[in-house]
Amino acid sequence: MSYTDLEDKFDENNVYVRYNVVLEGPAVKPEDDEDVVKILPKDEPFREIALGVLHENNDEVLDNVKKALDDGVSPIDVINKGLMKGIDSVSALYTKGIYFLPDLMLAGDCLMAGVKDCEKVLGHKSETKGTVVSFVAEGDPHDIGKNLILMFLRAGGFEAVDLGRDVPADKVVEAVKEYNPIMLTGTALMTTTMTAFPKVVDAMEKAGLNVPIGCGGGAVRKDYVESFPMSFYGVEAYHTPKLANAILEDKLSWDDVRKKYSDIVGEFVPEYS
């Protein structure tokens, strides 16, 4: 294709502002993309928090998160209604080939910077009720969801052991032997890595261990998780302390959690309706 062909195809109404460079012609801002418009919150302070992530601007995120927390907005709302909507918007632009991998990395860092400030407000309870071990599936580098889980567990009074990302099944088994947790959480965001969950279950069975494993993450579906034993599907990171409480205090098994998930977390969960 010659340069002239390219020039003929150039649509000046569809030029995006990236890396702070405004190309000639009427620029389309990322927040004006039709898919992003559907995702971004309309109300403040959530919109400006989400925009900070979308703009990959750490200072913008930190300023707006601080302002919201100082105004008494709940840290859980800051995360779920603000920061997460930002990363969902980034994802929409990545899927369309408008944002690239570095955008995901920068936006992910901005999100985690905001989460750190929320964590300070949520705090850690001094006495711990029991231990939960969290891991990201083997081969998977996505750890934002797992980090949120750790934060909510610690704020809810649990000892949360972080095995990190890309964790092989035998490491999970070793950790179960070492920490004797009441529950495990596993996260996978790729269709290629969620198959690590049944491998963990196999390894646990072979070692004679039986601990409920909450499995979640972008790529994971409830039907898939329920196709192997010892597991239940986890929907939202902030559900984790409630699930751990039910397992600890009401002695619920993984099978009970599958049946009572909405009751346990105290809200309507479409995936479980």
Q: Which stretches of the chain bind ligand B12, using CB under 6 A?
A: 87, 90-91, 94-95, 101, 104-105, 108, 141-145, 148-149, 185, 187, 189-192, 214, 216-219, 234-237, 239-240
* In the complex, least distance from residue 183 CB atom to ligand B12, rounded to whole angstroms: 8
Nearer to ligand B12, 75 or 234 (CB): 234
- Identify how many contiguous H helices and E strands the chain contains and give both numbers: 13, 7
How many degrees, rounded to 5, is the angle at CA 34 between CA 32 and CA 37? 65
* In the complex, least distance from residue 188 CB atom to ligand B12, rounded to whole angstroms: 8
* In the complex, least distance from residue 193 CB atom to ligand B12, rounded to whole angstroms: 8
Nearer to ligand B12, 203 or 215 (CB): 215
- In the Cβ-directed half-sphere of 261, how many Cα atoms lie within 13 Å? 20
* In the complex, least distance from residue 186 CB atom to ligand B12, rounded to whole angstroms: 7
Q: Within 10 Å of residue 159's Cβ, how many Cβ atoms?
A: 17
CA–CA separation, 58 vs 210, rounded Å?
42
Q: What SS3 state is found at 243? A: helix
Q: Which residue is nearest to ligand B12 (CB)?
A: 145
- In the Cβ-directed half-sphere of 125, how many Cα atoms lie within 13 Å? 15
Nearer to ligand B12, 27 or 162 (CB): 162
Nearer to ligand B12, 35 or 202 (CB): 35
